[in-house]
Amino acid sequence: MIAAIRSQVMGMARSPHEKTYDDLAHDMCAHPASPQHLAAKAEMARRAVVQDRFRSWVMLLSTVIAAVAAIASACSAYFAYYIATH
């Protein structure tokens, strides 16, 4: 009974956002005008945008961290100068 249910679930078509990159690559091999190909192409473009957005946030975060480190370094240099001269 459970094996029959599993085979039914495995045989059902999944929506593009549930597919792996291998499944999408397989769908991209279909005819360029087919709905399979178009859906796979759109899903790959959507995933690329999401990945780019994530990379943008990581770049922004690393820039903020570098700015904080530069400010801390400047403060440290100022206090070292202040202590040495007074």
User: How is the chain split into domains, by residue range?
Assistant: 15-85
Helices 35-85, 21-28: inter-axial angle, 10-degree rounding: 140
Q: 2 vs 21, which has greater pLDDT?
A: 21
For 16-55, the pLDDT digits (tens) are: 778 888 888 888 888 888 888 888 888 989 999 989 999 9
Listed range (11-25, 30-44, 51-65, 70-84) with the worst mean pLDDT: 11-25
Residue 1 has pLDDT above 60, yes or no: no
List C-alpha distances in Å: 20 to 17, 26, 41. 8, 10, 13
Does the pTM surpass 0.75? The reply is no
Residue 71 has pLDDT above 60, yes or no: yes
What single letter denotes the amino acid at residue 20?
T
